[in-house]
Amino acid sequence: MMRKSGDHTVWRRSGGHSEDYEDARRAFLLGRMVYERRRALGLSQVELAERAEMTQPQLSRLEGGGVTPTIPLLERLATALEVDLVIDFAPRVAA
Protein backbone atom coordinates (compact mmCIF):
# COMPACT_ATOMS: atom_id res chain seq x y z
CA MET A 1 0.00 0.00 0.00
CA MET A 2 1.31 3.49 -0.82
CA ARG A 3 0.60 6.84 0.79
CA LYS A 4 2.16 10.27 0.47
CA SER A 5 3.99 11.73 3.44
CA GLY A 6 5.17 15.23 2.60
CA ASP A 7 7.48 14.97 -0.38
CA HIS A 8 8.05 11.23 0.12
CA THR A 9 6.09 8.15 -0.83
CA VAL A 10 5.75 5.66 2.00
CA TRP A 11 5.20 2.00 1.12
CA ARG A 12 3.47 -0.24 3.60
CA ARG A 13 2.72 -3.92 3.38
CA SER A 14 -0.99 -4.66 3.30
CA GLY A 15 -2.43 -7.86 4.74
CA GLY A 16 -3.22 -9.32 1.32
CA HIS A 17 0.42 -9.42 0.28
CA SER A 18 1.94 -11.17 3.28
CA GLU A 19 2.07 -14.53 1.47
CA ASP A 20 3.84 -12.97 -1.51
CA TYR A 21 6.22 -11.21 0.86
CA GLU A 22 7.08 -14.49 2.61
CA ASP A 23 7.65 -16.24 -0.73
CA ALA A 24 9.99 -13.45 -1.82
CA ARG A 25 11.78 -13.50 1.53
CA ARG A 26 12.38 -17.25 1.31
CA ALA A 27 13.64 -16.97 -2.29
CA PHE A 28 15.98 -14.15 -1.25
CA LEU A 29 17.35 -16.10 1.72
CA LEU A 30 17.91 -19.22 -0.38
CA GLY A 31 19.66 -17.19 -3.06
CA ARG A 32 21.85 -15.60 -0.39
CA MET A 33 22.85 -19.05 0.94
CA VAL A 34 23.83 -20.20 -2.55
CA TYR A 35 25.79 -16.99 -3.16
CA GLU A 36 27.67 -17.22 0.15
CA ARG A 37 28.58 -20.89 -0.32
CA ARG A 38 29.67 -20.28 -3.91
CA ARG A 39 31.94 -17.44 -2.75
CA ALA A 40 33.32 -19.59 0.10
CA LEU A 41 34.30 -22.23 -2.48
CA GLY A 42 35.89 -19.58 -4.70
CA LEU A 43 33.63 -20.42 -7.64
CA SER A 44 32.38 -18.03 -10.30
CA GLN A 45 28.74 -18.11 -11.34
CA VAL A 46 29.78 -19.78 -14.59
CA GLU A 47 31.68 -22.52 -12.74
CA LEU A 48 28.82 -23.26 -10.34
CA ALA A 49 26.25 -23.14 -13.13
CA GLU A 50 28.23 -25.74 -15.08
CA ARG A 51 28.55 -27.97 -12.01
CA ALA A 52 24.79 -27.69 -11.35
CA GLU A 53 23.82 -28.22 -15.02
CA MET A 54 22.20 -24.82 -15.39
CA THR A 55 23.04 -21.58 -17.16
CA GLN A 56 24.80 -18.60 -15.59
CA PRO A 57 21.74 -16.33 -16.08
CA GLN A 58 19.57 -18.92 -14.29
CA LEU A 59 22.03 -19.00 -11.39
CA SER A 60 22.16 -15.22 -11.28
CA ARG A 61 18.36 -15.02 -10.99
CA LEU A 62 18.38 -17.66 -8.26
CA GLU A 63 21.09 -15.88 -6.27
CA GLY A 64 19.14 -12.64 -6.60
CA GLY A 65 16.01 -14.23 -5.14
CA GLY A 66 14.03 -14.06 -8.36
CA VAL A 67 13.38 -17.79 -8.70
CA THR A 68 11.88 -20.52 -6.56
CA PRO A 69 13.92 -23.61 -7.47
CA THR A 70 12.58 -27.14 -7.87
CA ILE A 71 13.76 -29.94 -5.60
CA PRO A 72 15.81 -31.56 -8.40
CA LEU A 73 17.60 -28.24 -8.95
CA LEU A 74 18.24 -27.92 -5.20
CA GLU A 75 19.74 -31.43 -5.26
CA ARG A 76 22.06 -30.49 -8.14
CA LEU A 77 23.06 -27.28 -6.38
CA ALA A 78 23.77 -29.13 -3.13
CA THR A 79 26.05 -31.55 -4.98
CA ALA A 80 27.76 -28.71 -6.85
CA LEU A 81 28.21 -26.74 -3.61
CA GLU A 82 29.51 -29.82 -1.75
CA VAL A 83 26.79 -29.67 0.91
CA ASP A 84 23.92 -31.85 2.07
CA LEU A 85 20.40 -30.80 1.13
CA VAL A 86 18.19 -30.88 4.23
CA ILE A 87 14.45 -30.34 3.89
CA ASP A 88 12.59 -30.42 7.17
CA PHE A 89 9.12 -29.88 8.57
CA ALA A 90 9.15 -28.21 11.98
CA PRO A 91 6.32 -27.13 14.28
CA ARG A 92 5.38 -23.48 13.98
CA VAL A 93 6.46 -21.24 16.77
CA ALA A 94 3.67 -19.02 18.08
CA ALA A 95 4.44 -15.36 17.55
pLDDT tens digits for range 2-26:
455 566 666 555 555 688 889 999 9
Q: Is residue 9 part of a domain?
A: no
**Amino acid at residue number 92:** R
Contact 68, 90 (CB under 8 A): no
Report CA dihedral (65, 66, 69, 75) to the nearest 10 degrees: -40
User: What are 91's strand-pairing partners?
Assistant: none
By the 10 Å C-beta count (0-12 exposed, 13-18 middle, 19+ buried), 37 is classed as middle
pTM of the model: 0.77
pLDDT in tens, 26-55: 999 999 999 999 999 999 999 999 999 999
List the domain range (segments joined by +) for residue 40: 19-80
With respect to residue 44, please indicate whether it lies within any of the assigned structural domains.
Answer: yes
**Count of structural domains within the chain:** 1
**Is residue 53 assigned to a domain?**
yes
CATH code where residue 52 lies: 1.10.260.40
Strand-pair partners of 3 = 10
Task: Judge whether 52 lies within some domain.
Answer: yes
